[in-house]
Amino acid sequence: MSTSAESIEREEKLQGVGCSRKRKEDPRFIQGKGNYVDDIKMPGMLCAEIVRSPYAHARIISIDKTEALALPGVHAVLTADDLKPLDLHWMPTLAGDVQAVLADEKVVFQMQEVAVVIANDRYIAADAVQLVKVEYEPLPALVDPHKSMDSDAPVIREDLIGKMDGAHSKRLHDNHIFTWDVGDKESTDQAFEDAEVTVKENMFYHRVHPCPLETCGCLASFDKIEGKLTAYVTSQAPHVVRTVVSMLSGIPESKVRIISPDIGGGFGNKVPIYPGYVTAMVASIVLGRPVKWVESRIENLTTTGFARDWHMEGELAADNEGRIKALRVNVLADHGAFDACADPSKFPAGMFHICTGSYDIPNAYARVDGVYTNKAPGGVAYRCSFRVTEAVYVVERMVDVLAQKLGMDKAEIRLKNFVKPEQFPYPTALGANLDSGDYHTALNKVLDAVDYKELRKEQEEKRANGELMGIGIVTFTEIVGAGPSKSCDILGVGMFDSAEIRVHPTGSALARMGTITQGQAHQTTYAQIIATELGIPSEEIQIEEGDTDTAPYGLGTYGSRTTPVGAAATAVAARKIKAKAAKIAAHLLEVSDDDLEWDVDRFKVKGVPGQEKTMKDIAWAAYNNLPEGMEPGLEAVDYYDPPEYTYPFGAYLCVVDIDKYTGVTKVRRFYALDDCGTRINPMVIEGQIHGGLTEGYAVAMGQELSFDPEGNIEGNSLMDYFLPTAVETPHWETDYTVTPSPHHPLGAKGVAESPHVGSIPTFTAAVVDAFAHLDVTHMNMPHSAYRVWQKCHELGLDKAK
């Protein structure tokens, strides 16, 4: 390949992979021309508002709609009884369970959907909601998951009584959902028995919520004559919604059109299908008019898509030198009242098997038990692949606990146990197959950048002065890109993704994907991939996503799967086009394929200067001058089924200073090094990392949805729920190494969730490290000033003046 100045210049003009191309999405957004679900209006549109339960657990005695229906402007009030004849009062969840669309005889969590009011506008609907009179008989609420399997525990799901064959395993109790385990229990137990050192820690990964700035909503429009349902939905997976809606309603999938327009952030919250969507669709079908439902922030935080709520017990076995011999993890997972987790069907605990982390651990065993409680359903992947945040948290915490027990440095113990570069691809004890990595280089680069030794020295001095300074280190490995359809499916549909590229006669292109952007800049970055592959300038490539009538079937965007799966599909589709283009070029140049070489945006005849055909020439020829027997056109579709997951990794370091009199923790420094393989758009990557770190900071330092013993949710508005402003948010320092994935067509691994997954344990590690000299090994999140002060107070630190 030529590397002349001229060709470099041509390459730069393409704005392909590796350049920080400015975003194509921005011009619309900065002019206020975004098009989010609530921005869309249709003629004759009605508004839906949901009547919700004040109780966490109660029997519904009666529902009286009379007064509400009498209010002028109210068109309908629907309850479970109204949906029953259509068999739409329950719907399947992504996790193999069912969920009540509208409460059927019983409410099982606070603010559960009981009825839906359809009115002319949202003002009338809001008035009507409080006129629907619901009589309840309160039942005892089950809030503590540790009591879910007690013999006298109230049964939450009466619809499941006696059905002990769960979706994932035998159920051991009416409130039990599944047991899932992985690894060799026997060898692991043996390793613990034989170990020189063992450590154990209980940790609670609290209930949080992704809380995108746009809440969830749906505008459904059913055309009775055509029999077609069109719905604008805040969905990270519009095709999945289409399939589920078709299955539920019996409308042929070809007559269901789901459109994910602009989405105001998803972070996992917009993966599941919610009762609000279904009721809007049903109402539209019943009334024959467009119906819009948009939830309030309080409804969003209270009822749709929470994350985590895992009670984890971690254990490590090691020798006296700190070499890890075994990992054992037991988890109690609180799924709320319906199992509505967003996991691939066969993975009730998601990708938790990545919990051996970046370490060469010969023996491991993990077990997760899911249980029901009287809380809202969910268990979504909040800016992470399914349960990866939990997995990284437990192993990173445990490595620190082990280091403290052994009196070892927390960086040293990691360097000692890392999987070595030459061990890749590395099969872990729990069945992951790490594709590539260079963990030593990453960590050492970070330690050098922050002058780690100096920091530890400073910490020594501070401790001598009675000051609290903590240094947290995390070296995480993620598993993303779900996933290979041999194991990954959602409701039976394999987790491939797709791209369809059409090159127009004049050489520009249109591409459509099965994914959907929620701020990740797909319109910008997909074009870069095609630009590099096909030599068409990014500016001339139009990217479209989110409309199921036009885009090829895909599983959507979450769990950092767009780059590992969607971008791979895009590259492969482009390569199919390029292969055809080569044949056309050979035909035009009257040489054989083998005589050609690719140079940025054209095929050249090897060794014959001037003999070349640009992609523009080829595109034109594809419509009028083809080799004999070749079909016209220049397009390709690829459904990419990844052979493997990808495994991004990183090394993060955080320095905190704690005010021991108030508990206020100040992040002095946060250094994040990420390795996501090939970097498609460094600017976008850095933006994703800033965002992920900020979300991680929020989770670790303040976000929490808690419940009182009666099942009342606490802190479910932005008064309490912690979304940091620019003032609270620390300054981020970013860095990178590049270790391409060997099996991805571009070598790229995915990045958006790494900073969330990686930063959360880093904050905990830093806070705990501040107290490490006082034999503190773990503190549960969130590390609010209140919580941290309690530790200071317990240790008597706030007294010393």
Residues 17-46 that bind another protein (CB under 8 A): 22-23, 25-36, 38-39, 41
Residues 657-676 close enough to bind another protein by CB under 8 A:
661-662, 664
Q: Is 212 or 377 the residue whose CB approaches another protein more closely?
A: 212
Q: Segment 257-276, which members bind another protein (CB under 8 A)? A: 262-265, 267
Give the nearest distance from C-beta 664 to another protein in angstroms: 7
Smallest distance from the beta carbon of 31 to another protein, in angstroms? 6
State which residue, 263 or 480, has the beta carbon closest to another protein: 263
Find the shortest distance in angstroms from Cβ 81 to another protein: 18
Beta bridge partners of 509: 503, 541
- What tokens were used for 477? 């490995």
Whole-angstrom Cα distance, residue 775 to residue 569? 51
Rounded CA separation 145/311 (Å): 9
Judged by beta carbon, residue 302 or residue 356, the one nearer another protein is 302
Q: What is the largest CA-CA distance in the chain?
A: 90
- Least gap, CB of 1 to another protein (angstroms): 31
CB of 486 or CB of 801, closer to another protein: 801
Smallest CA-to-CA distance from 322 within 406, 391, 266, 379 is with 406
What distance in Å separates the CA atoms of residue 350 and residue 575, rounded to the nearest whole number? 32
Residues 4, 62, 486, 731: which binds another protein (CB under 8 A)?
A: 731
| Residue 227 touches another protein, criterion: CB under 8 A | no
Least distance in Å: CB of 493 to another protein?
26
Binding residues among 780-799 for another protein as defined by CB under 8 A: 784-786, 789-790, 793, 798
Burial 715-735 (b: 16+ CB within 10 A, else e): bbeeeebbeeeeeeebebebb
Q: What is the DSSP string of 256-306?
A: EEEE--B-S--TTTTSS--HHHHHHHHHHHHHSS-EEEE--HHHHHHHS-E
Site string for another protein, 693-712 (x = CB under 8 A): xxx------x---x-xxxxx
Closest CB 55 distance from another protein, rounded Å? 5
Q: Examine residue 296 and tell whether it contacts another protein (CB under 8 A).
A: yes
Q: Does 298 bind another protein (CB under 8 A)?
A: yes
**In terms of CB distance, is 33 or 453 closer to another protein?**
33
Site size toward another protein (CB under 8 A) is 99
Check if the beta carbon of residue 69 is closer than 8 Å to that of residue 112.
Answer: no
**Does residue 767 touch another protein according to CB under 8 A?**
no
User: β-pairing, 733-736 with 665-675?
Assistant: parallel
Q: Site residues for another protein, window 83-122 (CB under 8 A)?
A: 110, 121-122
Is 720 one of the binding residues for another protein (CB under 8 A)? yes
DSSP per-residue codes, 21-83: PPPSSHHHHHTT---BGGG---TT-EEEEEEE-S-SSEEEEEEE-HHHHHSTTEEEEEEHHHH
> Judged by CB under 8 A, does residue 72 bind another protein?
no
CA-to-CA dists, residue 691 to 152, 311, 472, 618, 730, angstroms: 45, 27, 20, 42, 11
Which positions from 165 to 204 touch another protein by CB under 8 A, shown as an x/- string? ----------------------------------------
Nearer to another protein by Cβ, of 136 and 274: the residue is 136
338 lines the binding site for another protein (CB under 8 A): no
Amino acid type, 546: G
Minimum distance between the CB of residue 43 and another protein, rounded to whole angstroms? 13
- Cα–Cα separations (whole angstroms), residue 175 to 33, 376, 797: 48, 15, 43
The residues annotated as belonging to the active site are 236, 383-384, 753
d(CA 354, CA 432): 6
Q: Which of 55, 338, 382, 771 binds another protein (CB under 8 A)?
A: 55
Instruction: Decide whether 297 or 323 has the Cβ nearer to another protein.
Output: 297
Identified binder of another protein from the candidate list 3, 8, 123, 186, rule CB under 8 A: 123
